[in-house]
Amino acid sequence: MKHIPKTIASCAIAVMFLFAACRSDNQAAQDEDIPSPSDSDYPDLSKTKNEDCPDLDSLDGDPTVAYYRLRFEYAASSNWSKLEFIDPENILSVRAMSVEGDADKAEAGYGGITVNQPKNQAEAGAVIEVTADYAIRPEALDAPFVIKLGQGVIGSITLKISTVVGDDIQTIKEVTEPRDAEFQLDLSSLSGVSPSKAPIAPVRRMGWALYYPWYNLKSWEADHMKDQPEIPYDSGDLQAVTRQISQAKSAGIDGFISSWWGPGSRTDENLVVVLEAAGRSDFFIGMFLETKSIVTEQGGDMARVEDELVRWIEHYVTNYKDHLGTMKVAGKTFVMPWITCTLPVETWQNVRDRLDDKQIETTMVADCSKPEYFDVFDGALGDKPETGKTVRYHALLSDSGKPKIWMSSAMPGYDERLLDREDPRYTDREDGRYFRTQLRTAFSTNPQWIRLYTWNEYPENTYIEPSKNFGDKYLDIAGEYLLPWKCAE
């Protein structure tokens, strides 16, 4: 059975990752009697993670990124106007500090600042003022930083650009009545100033896959199953889970984000087996919190939903945080809630505050990328490079200064047409082409973590594990992208 494409078999898998997520030290040593597949025609990737990596709690400070901070104060009374960065490559992060006037008509982003308002408002003299801060790489001082200004025939625009170093704000450029103008910003005043530094999340590059431990042997006989694993299994079978982990590791997957339906559920019972197999295999398990189940059971009552979220997460962390296979970042248990952004951000803030009061520590990553959730969560998932920058470099311009984890995602296809659902969705796998496109898009966002959607969700046909219909095809494709990405770190 081949799991690693020959074109990448020579990749330097054993590269040392400085900031590695490590196992707890308070568990028994790995047993040696757990059976594993005997495939001999692909490399043994069980040794790919640096065995001597330090616990994140013992690192000498967090990894940091250097930057300079610029402030742009832009006022426009024109019907349309824009400030455009000709080459935004050296911009790490952007934050709109304030908007005076009609905020819906203004936007500050990586490409620049735009203001568009109705002609009648511009003719009436309406002014929209935008103040936005930009974090730029130190390399920007050695390269042309070109800005282009443009506007409509009505009204005017003004611009003031300042450097921000702590509480010291120094104006370096003012522009009035530019019409169409292009200029190179002189950043020489920063050449003798040490750049600021901010932390980024202390994690190494990791591949993850959503995992569903809910199957029994009869599951594979269901009418809605178009396919099944090469070897049908019960999710409570230690040998089967050990085999899955070995397969996943062969493609550069470091852990499963395991679906969890709460205390006492089948997924909770099988989680013990999954953690056991992971702990013995140098593999990691995060919790995929099935939020929708709670919302449904509580009838949408947000107060009761909040109570249940706290109860579930407290149970999970209390019972599993010290297990050898549990994934933790800086000592905090990794949790990813499903459909995060369908719940009010205030609900999540309350949940986190209540967990903090109970000293229940989590690294909680949202499975969405709405900006209003960034301050509440420890990371976010999405598919746009600009959002990735905003999350990855969140600490540079945020008031909290807390680093965030950026995770991107890819799936091989989707087909729920055999399920009893209204307007069932379908995305053709296109013989692997769709998955490759998804992976290229995901990696283009410069993620710290990649989530594959999914390892084994058969009813919706998003699985990549070896199956009877596809063999190792989708596992091989995952490895083609994951392994070189990790080796290049």
Q: Where do the domains of the chain lie, and which CATH numbers do they carry?
A: 6-61+202-487 (3.20.20.80), 65-199 (no CATH)
Q: Using an 8 Å Cβ cutoff, are 213 and 257 in contact? A: no
What value does the mean pLDDT take over residues 353-358? 98
What tokens were used for 293? 């189940």
List of residues 6+ apart from 112 with CB closer than 8 A: 82, 83, 84, 85, 88, 147
Asked whether the predicted pLDDT for residue 229 surpasses 60, the reply is yes
* Least confident span in 171-175, 180-184, 372-376: 180-184
For residue 454, cis peptide bond before it (omega within 30 degrees of 0):
yes
Reported confidence tier of residue 23, pLDDT bands at 50, 70, 90: very low
As a whole number of angstroms, the distance between CA 465 and CA 24 comes to 28
Asked whether the predicted pLDDT for residue 3 surpasses 80, the reply is no
Asked whether the predicted pLDDT for residue 154 surpasses 80, the reply is yes
What value does the mean pLDDT take over residues 287-306? 93
Asked whether the predicted pLDDT for residue 54 surpasses 90, the reply is no
The predicted model scores a pTM of: 0.85
Reported confidence tier of residue 444, pLDDT bands at 50, 70, 90: very high
pLDDT 10s digits, 262-289: 999 999 999 999 999 999 999 999 999 9
Which pLDDT score, from 0 to 100, does residue 12 have? 34
Which pLDDT score, from 0 to 100, does residue 294 have? 92
As a whole number of angstroms, the distance between CA 261 and CA 291 comes to 8
What tokens were used for 290? 């099935």
- Is 45 buried (19+), middle (13-18) or exposed (0-12) by CB count in 10 A? buried
Reported confidence tier of residue 36, pLDDT bands at 50, 70, 90: very low
What tokens were used for 315? 């149970």
* Least confident span in 148-152, 177-181, 271-275, 425-429: 177-181
**Residue found under tokens 């932390």:** 199
Distance of CA 309 to the CA centre of its chain: 21
Paired residues of 331 in beta bridges: none
What tokens were used for 20? 């590695």
Q: Using an 8 Å Cβ cutoff, are 313 and 344 in contact? A: no
Which pLDDT score, from 0 to 100, does residue 121 have? 93
Which pLDDT score, from 0 to 100, does residue 181 have? 87
Q: What are phi and psi of 295, to 5 degrees?
A: -60, -45
What value does the mean pLDDT take over residues 158-181? 90
As a whole number of angstroms, the distance between CA 200 and CA 65 comes to 7
Asked whether the predicted pLDDT for residue 423 surpasses 70, the reply is yes
Distance of CA 333 to the CA centre of its chain: 16
What value does the mean pLDDT take over residues 395-423? 96
Q: Using an 8 Å Cβ cutoff, are 67 and 198 in contact? A: yes
Q: Give me the chain's average pLDDT, please.
A: 88
Asked whether the predicted pLDDT for residue 53 surpasses 90, the reply is no
What is the number of H-type helices and E-type strands within the chain? Answer: 10, 22
Reported confidence tier of residue 178, pLDDT bands at 50, 70, 90: confident
What value does the mean pLDDT take over residues 154-180? 90
Which pLDDT score, from 0 to 100, does residue 140 have? 94
What value does the mean pLDDT take over residues 420-449? 96
The DSSP-derived string for 159-212 is: EEEEEEETTEEEEEEEEES-SSEEEE---GGGTTSPPEEEE------EEEEEE-
Q: Using an 8 Å Cβ cutoff, are 209 and 257 in contact? A: yes
Which pLDDT score, from 0 to 100, does residue 63 have? 86
Beta pairing class for 206-211 and 449-452 = parallel
Reported confidence tier of residue 62, pLDDT bands at 50, 70, 90: low
Paired residues of 284 in beta bridges: 255
Reported confidence tier of residue 60, pLDDT bands at 50, 70, 90: very low
Which pLDDT score, from 0 to 100, does residue 489 have? 55
What tokens were used for 73? 């104060």
As a whole number of angstroms, the distance between CA 408 and CA 206 comes to 11
Reported confidence tier of residue 127, pLDDT bands at 50, 70, 90: very high
